[in-house]
Structure 1
Amino acid sequence: MKEKLAQLRRRVQEINDLEAILSLAFWDQATYMPSGGGEARARQLATLGRISHEKLTDPAVGQLLEDLREYEKELPADSDEAGLIRATRRKYEKAVKIPSDFISEFYKHQSDSYQVWMRAREENDFEVARPNLEKTLEYSRRLAEFFPGYEHIADPLIDFSDPGMPVSVIRPLFAELRRQLIPLVEAITEKPAVSDACVRQTFPRDKQLAFGLEVIKRLGYDLDRGRQDLTAHPFMIKFSLGDVRITTRVKEDDLREALFSTIHEAGHAMYEQGINRDYEGTPLAEGASSGVHESQSRLWENIVGRSREFWNYFYPRLQKVFPGELGSVDLDTFYRAINKVERSLIRTDADEVTYNLHVIMRFDFELDLLEGRLAVRDLPEAWRERMKADLGIEPPDDRTGVLQDMHWYQEMIGGMFQGYTLGNVLSGLFYEAALKAHPEIPSEMERGEFGTLRRWLTENIYRHGSKFTAAELVERITGGPMTIEPYMRYLRSKYGELYGL
């Protein structure tokens, strides 16, 4: 059995290498590749995707997993060996249901669609992207049909990124969160508006990038195993546990854009860098789910990065970088500016209180599109109506509306957005648990010390990789199921104080 397990590990290592090259090709496409390379890159991604899929679905992999089935039962459930077999079986049983030709075809469509989306955004015209998006919806439905037996058509698509989180669990959780958030947004926005003029001055790009790197190094992002580059839509990407990269984008007229996207992506990257190095090259060497992953980016970006304790340490340093712009601005003014709550159009720019309303809307649209209740051609109008209902504003054009996110145009429809709000909910839950274990964390942050929090996260979340599901991690950490209450306590406490509610 030890030899069969070693054989399995060698096979998944080879598959992991191919997936890493796929990721590298996408990273290049999103950062440095000239636009003329788009057609060839689509073909290359399709070829690599097909080869990787064929290797994962090789009958020899299935036979190894079958041979190891009884051995797995003899192992402790939380052992690394059992986790490796379990995680590989999950990947294999999904992949074997999808024909290789479909994978190759879908990869090519996704790459083509991404290039068209960039042009549609540039031209501010949804009609440019609509035919491709209609094809994406067809592909997404076809993909879901390879997995019969699910309660909802979106369930198998969600399961790719958030295993064990079906629509029947997410929909009521999101409905309750929306029910509590809308009156909170209304109560805050009825208060006098907070000025964010201090962060909307001119801040040179190079200085912003240098300060952002200083911050994330202090938080614990290891630049010997990572780097940062510029892109249109920030993301984190991993080629190995020794090469975990992040990207950002800069607005010289808004200090928040690059700084908080840098911290956000570094949160993702620190999770990956904290995974047990013995898991390298296996299915265990990745995050538990998109929700758990997002919990780390949002925890570091918002709960830590927008806290008063964080800025008690970093604000004097920021003032030294931008003395003309911020030298005469007091900390309280700056703190209120970076935590300003307002009804806004862009999800990635949204504040903590309104952000989830953007996400829940997208999740609901995915369900409507997949169920056939909403046609792709009607999406812009549906977008405007829902934005008006939930946030009281309407996008004036496609670029600030239905074209703002790349997800549907570069991946699929279904399972693309729920992880963001699940991540916010989990960020509040995990941080509250960390504070119970280490009440000294806030006072340490005021001194620029983040090691205690990072070590707690590493011990309880990061090092396990994908050995446990999100629900299992929550149970291990809190002793109970996932709930929105810690997150809502955090929001009400912080913003109740800020806005005098």
Structure 2
Amino acid sequence: MNQHDETYDLLATHTREAAILSSIQELLEWDERTKMPPAGGQHRADQAAHVAGLVHQKQTDPMIGEWLSALADSPLAADPTSDTGAVIRHLQHDYNKKTKLPQTLVEQLTRTAVEGQQVWAAARKANNFAAFEPILEKMVGLKKQEAAALGFEATPYDPLLDDYEPGETTANITCVLADLRDALVPLVQAIAGSAKRPDVSILTRHYPASVQETFGKQAAAAIGFDFSAGRLDATDHPFCCMPGPNDVRLTTRYDEHWFSDCFFSVLHEAGHGIYDQGLPSDQFGLPTGEYVSLGIHESQSRMWENQVGRSRAFWEYFFPVAQKEFPQALSDVTCSNFYGAINDVEPSLIRVEADEVTYNLHILIRFELEKALLEDQLSVADLPGAWNKKYHEFLGVVSPTAADGVLQDVHWSAGLFGYFPTYTLGNLYAAQFFAQANEDLGDLNAQFRRGEFLTLREWLREKIHRHGKRYSAAELAERITGKPLSHEALIGQLSAKYGELYGL
């Protein structure tokens, strides 16, 4: 073994050790949001902060800089998309960022995120924004410190966005969202003007939580989520995490009088989980074993939730199963009526329950508000009023409660500023990837009608999952579809689907 190989092995071993510590962080967070008793919150914050400090120490060890410097001009780094080249390139980027952050700030952010999520959950339950305001104020201040430490030219939003969407810029996101909004608004208006309206009361009948769990797990398994290497639990705000290889945790929430809340969150989180399970486990801890970006990760969840799970073909297979599981609720309902109900388009208050046509307007609101908070154009105290103003402007609705308004999302309490735009990027990538998959694999709807979903899963594994971070999100889109990211595929799919449903 030559000197470069030995240096690379030292770097890889060190990086994997840091990843093991990070996986402990992930498990602590999963437990906090699913199983931990409320009184354990303060000690959990101390635990999480301590582990975060250890991770930061490991990730900023000066030896990493020496190893990376020694490898920079080596043959191992010559091809930036090779296994070794991709690892060296991404670790250099991460090291440059992490060494700019003081350990005390990292620990403060972690502790405040744990405490913030607990305060948020209680405040949301009590419908009390004032109870949440102080810790959100603290978190916004800490994120401004983080952005300042990382450095930026145009806006403090840029370095925070880079955590979730490497290489992306706030300026480009602003343009992408504006173009999409311009195309969405006429479609939303046309649907609003249609006389055709589905009977959504179908979805408010009694759907026992225990049966929802069974049915959700059955659907998740059918589309390719491996429950021998994963599980499903309940939480306040659905999420997916991967503490390590062959250990992927899905979560959902149950409303016995709203079918869509649980079912589509299960499909959504299962889509995330399928991506995690498709990453090369032998590369765990290295960039080649990690997801590309949150936009790409979101493309996987949104594809299974929307392009697949809200399709007519999916329910032509699954509706008879649903009728057997929920005989009291669905015995007198036709598949066509059920399909119409789950695809109802109506401006709404809750992002996670929004239809796929108006969903991205919810994201645009959050993007503009969190950007304004970071740029000192909006105070935390004025956030509820700004939230309601934008909801009235964009969607024509205003929440009568903070719980269904400004308090509905967990993200800001956890410090996830820069995260929200990745949902819309995910919708755009999902539409583009799905169109290409349909072209490559033939008529996907015909396969779905027969209950065949694994062909699509394997296509996604081959095209996306197995590559880890070898390519950027933009490069991946070009490689797979031959086109740069665009709103055209999504608008085309939405126009065709909802044109049929609403007689446009």
- TM normalised by structure 1 equals 0.98
Question: Contact (CA 8 Å) 1:150, 1:156: kept in 2 or not?
Answer: no
CA distance in 1, matches of 2:362, 2:71: 44
Question: Mind listing any 5+ residue stretches in structure 1 that lack a counterpart?
Answer: none
Pick the aligned partner of 1:459 from 455, 459, 462: 462
1:384 paired residue number: 388
- Residue type at the aligned position of 1:129: F
Q: CA deviation at 1:333?
A: 0.3
SS in 2 for 1:227: strand
Query: Does 1:221 find its partner at 2:254?
Result: no
Query: Does 1:438 find its partner at 2:432?
Result: no
Query: Does 1:350 find its partner at 2:363?
Result: no
Q: CA deviation at 1:149?
A: 4.0
Query: Does 1:25 find its partner at 2:28?
Result: yes
Report the more deviating stretch, 187-196 or 28-37.
187-196
Query: Does 1:301 find its partner at 2:305?
Result: yes
Query: Does 1:320 find its partner at 2:324?
Result: yes
Report the more deviating stretch, 266-275 or 279-288.
279-288
CA distance in 2, matches of 1:86, 1:399: 43
| Structure-to-structure mapping, 1:132-211, within 5 angstroms | 132-192=135-195, 193-211=197-215
Question: Contact (CA 8 Å) 2:164, 2:418: kept in 1 or not?
Answer: yes
- Residue type at the aligned position of 1:308: R
2:498 paired residue number: 495
Report the more deviating stretch, 22-31 or 104-113.
104-113
SS in 1 for 2:242: strand
1:421 paired residue number: 424
- Residue type at the aligned position of 1:500: G
Query: Does 1:40 find its partner at 2:46?
Result: no
CA distance in 1, matches of 2:368, 2:420: 10
- Residue type at the aligned position of 1:260: F
CA distance in 1, matches of 2:329, 2:75: 61
Question: Contact (CA 8 Å) 1:359, 1:417: kept in 2 or not?
Answer: yes
Q: Between the two proteins, what is the percent identity of the paired residues?
A: 42
Query: Does 1:117 find its partner at 2:120?
Result: yes
Question: Contact (CA 8 Å) 1:154, 1:415: kept in 2 or not?
Answer: yes
Query: Does 1:90 find its partner at 2:93?
Result: yes
Q: Kindly provide the CA deviation profile for residues 244-299 of structure 1, in whole angstroms up to 9, marking residues without a partner as x.
A: 11001111111111111101000000001111222122233221111101111000
CA distance in 1, matches of 2:133, 2:311: 41
SS in 1 for 2:233: strand
CA distance in 2, matches of 1:42, 1:92: 25
Pick the aligned partner of 1:254 from 228, 246, 258: 258
- Residue type at the aligned position of 1:117: W
CA distance in 2, matches of 1:162, 1:248: 25
CA distance in 2, matches of 1:99, 1:209: 43
SS in 1 for 2:249: strand
2:72 paired residue number: 69
1:289 paired residue number: 293
Q: Kindly provide the CA deviation profile for residues 297-351 of structure 1, in whole angstroms up to 9, marking residues without a partner as x.
A: 0000011001011111111111111122212211110000010111110000100
SS in 1 for 2:339: helix
Q: CA deviation at 1:72?
A: 5.2
Q: Kindly provide the CA deviation profile for residues 64-116 of structure 1, in whole angstroms up to 9, marking residues without a partner as x.
A: 11111112565433211111112222221111110111101111111111111
| Structure-to-structure mapping, 1:9-24, within 5 angstroms | 9-24=12-27
Change (3 A) 1:119 1:72: farther
CA distance in 1, matches of 2:498, 2:75: 48
CA distance in 2, matches of 1:240, 1:180: 40
CA distance in 2, matches of 1:186, 1:179: 12
Question: Contact (CA 8 Å) 1:157, 1:415: kept in 2 or not?
Answer: yes
1:471 paired residue number: 474
Change (3 A) 1:382 1:72: farther
- Residue type at the aligned position of 1:411: G
Pick the aligned partner of 2:486 from 474, 483, 491: 483
Query: Does 1:266 find its partner at 2:257?
Result: no
SS in 2 for 1:146: helix
How many residue pairs were aligned? Answer: 500
Question: Contact (CA 8 Å) 1:241, 1:285: kept in 2 or not?
Answer: no
1:56 paired residue number: 59
Question: Contact (CA 8 Å) 2:71, 2:77: kept in 1 or not?
Answer: no
Q: Kindly provide the CA deviation profile for residues 419-472 of structure 1, in whole angstroms up to 9, marking residues without a partner as x.
A: 111101111011011111112322111100012211111111111122221111
| Structure-to-structure mapping, 1:362-377, within 5 angstroms | 362-377=366-381
CA distance in 1, matches of 2:239, 2:336: 31
Question: Mind listing any 5+ residue stretches in structure 2 that lack a counterpart?
Answer: none
CA distance in 1, matches of 2:470, 2:273: 18
SS in 1 for 2:251: strand
Q: CA deviation at 1:124?
A: 0.6
Change (3 A) 1:132 1:5: same
CA distance in 2, matches of 1:179, 1:365: 19
- Residue type at the aligned position of 1:298: R
Pick the aligned partner of 2:245 from 241, 244, 256: 241
1:409 paired residue number: 413
CA distance in 2, matches of 1:7, 1:150: 35
SS in 2 for 1:228: strand
CA distance in 1, matches of 2:354, 2:322: 23
Change (3 A) 1:72 1:500: farther
SS in 2 for 1:342: coil
Question: Contact (CA 8 Å) 1:346, 1:404: kept in 2 or not?
Answer: yes
Question: Contact (CA 8 Å) 1:87, 1:284: kept in 2 or not?
Answer: no
Q: Kindly provide the CA deviation profile for residues 383-414 of structure 1, in whole angstroms up to 9, marking residues without a partner as x.
A: 111111111111101111100001001124x3
CA distance in 2, matches of 1:291, 1:366: 18
SS in 2 for 1:372: coil
RMSD of aligned Cα (Å) = 1.2
CA distance in 1, matches of 2:239, 2:75: 36
- Residue type at the aligned position of 1:124: N
Question: Contact (CA 8 Å) 1:46, 1:107: kept in 2 or not?
Answer: yes
Question: Contact (CA 8 Å) 2:76, 2:84: kept in 1 or not?
Answer: no
Question: Contact (CA 8 Å) 1:229, 1:246: kept in 2 or not?
Answer: yes
1:101 paired residue number: 104
Change (3 A) 1:197 1:72: farther
CA distance in 2, matches of 1:173, 1:268: 23
- TM normalised by structure 2 equals 0.97
CA distance in 1, matches of 2:214, 2:357: 29
